[in-house]
Amino acid sequence: MTTLPELDEAARVIRHHLPARPSVGVVLGSGLGGWADELADLVKLPYADIPGMPRPAVAGHAGMLCAGRVGDVQVACLQGRAHLYEGHALAKAVFGVRVLARLGCRAVLLTNAAGGIHHSFAAGDLMLITDHLNLMGVNPLVGPNDEALGKRFPDMTYAHDPRLLELARAAANDAGVTLREGVYAALLGPTYETPAEIRMLRTLGADAVGMSTVPEIIALRHMGVPAAAISCITNLAAGLTQRELDHAEVEETARASRARFSALLSAWVRRAGEGAAAGSAS
Ligand code: HPA
């Protein structure tokens, strides 16, 4: 279990390096990390320098805390995440987003690479996650509950914050980017799915599938921090084409989608930042 003092120690070390208090947190998924390098007044801190922070081992995940500005909005960004399939303890896998919350972020915007299941999706599409299926077989809140972080039985009706979803739609409009919507199924990985599993997931109502994000959404919901997520559909899911799936292809498609993804994410951060400032004024 992660305790509040552990999170606050990490936040204290990070704050020491930041010029300003961040209002919006961002998590960048596989192949999507380049966005952080475009932040104004960029400051980078390796995860290795942050006490308690797990280090991601997957190619395409840098393991840097990046802080900077998008317009007037101060952002703290996790460039690379720790996945459960790497063997991290559950509490560790969500340590980074909990630290973003303790840094003062009033909204956290998550991103990931995902396989497309919905029949109308194509590689390169961007999908707003409107709800999820937690099929990881685990939950980051298992174990003793720290009431200082949140309550024992958090509601999940609005786990994907309705206001942030609206802001994402508006941001897609701002950026002139088509934004699909759908349900994200999270599996433990690290294998990709079998074609039979993809047929099962489609029957269950999933539009996309991946190996991340849901634990972070749950941890942020636990702490009462609004969060929402966008998937970059990097491939059609297993069995929907004849081709085998490959991580290099996932990263390549994510990179090829970079211009649209970056424009959308920057517009979303601006809108969420305005909202966070308005929220803090009231
Ligand atoms: N399945 C699971 N995770 C993924 C996929 C996929 O097809 N693509 C990118 N991440």
The values of phi and psi at residue 45, to 5°, are: -130, 120
| 106-117 pLDDT tens trace | 999 999 999 999
Mean pLDDT of 84-110: 93
151 found inside a domain: no
Report residue 87's pLDDT band, with 50, 70 and 90 as the boundaries: confident
Q: Whose CA is nearest to atom 6 of ligand 1?
A: 115
Kindly tell me if the per-residue pLDDT of 282 is higher than 50.
no
Closest-CA residue, ligand 1 atom 3, reads: 210
Residue 82 lies in a domain: yes
Question: Alpha-carbon distance 221 to 92, whole Å?
Answer: 16
Q: What is the pLDDT of residue 277?
A: 58
- Asked if the bond preceding 190 is cis, omega within 30° of 0, the reply is yes
DSSP-derived secondary structure letter, 120 = T
The answer to whether the beta carbons of residues 264 and 167 sit under 8 Å apart is no
What 3-state DSSP class applies to 27?
strand
Asked whether 257 and 140 are in contact (CB, 8 A), the reply is no
57 located within any domain? yes
282, part of any domain: no
Nearest-atom number in ligand 1 for the CA of 236 is 7
Task: Give, in order, the Cα–Cα distances in Å from 40 to each of 45, 66, 112, 151, 193.
Answer: 15, 11, 23, 37, 39
Q: How far, in whole angstroms, is CA 36 from its chain's centroid?
A: 13
Which pLDDT belongs to residue 60? 52
Residue 264: count of CB within 10 angstroms of its CB:
26
Amino acid at 120: S
Q: For residue 179, what are the domain limits?
A: 4-141+156-276
pLDDT above 80 for 234: yes
Share of the chain above pLDDT 90, in %: 79
243 CA → ligand 1 middle, Å: 13
* Residue 270: pLDDT over 80: yes
Top pLDDT among 55 and 189 is at 189
- Contact between 204 and 193 under an 8 Å Cβ cutoff? The reply is no
Task: Establish if 281 belongs to a structural domain.
Answer: no
Share of the chain above pLDDT 70, in %: 95
Helix axes 258-281, 247-256, angle to 10 degrees: 70
Closest ligand 1 atom to 193 CA: 1
Lowest pLDDT segment from 182-186, 223-227, 236-240: 236-240
pLDDT in tens, 41-63: 999 999 999 999 987 775 555 68
User: Residue 149 domain-assigned?
Assistant: no
Compute the distance between CA of residue 72 and CA of residue 262 in angstroms, rounded to an integer.
17
Calculate how far, in angstroms, residue 186's C-alpha sits from the geometric centre of ligand 1: 9
What's this model's pTM, rounded to 2 decimal places?
A: 0.94
Please tell me if the CB atom of residue 104 comes closer than 6 angstroms to any atom of ligand 1: no
CATH number reported for the structural domain that contains residue 118 in this entry: 3.40.50.1580
State mean pLDDT over 92-107. 96
Q: Is residue 150 part of a domain?
A: no
Number of domains in the chain: 1
Distance CA 253, CA 234 (A): 5
205 occurs within a structural domain: yes
Give 12's contacts (C-beta < 8 A, 6+ positions apart).
Answer: none
Chain-centroid distance of CA 8 in Å reads 21
All residues at 6 or more sequence positions from 109 whose CB lies less than 8 Å from its CB, including other chains: 24, 25, 26, 27, 164, 227, 228, 229, 230, 265, 268, 269, 272
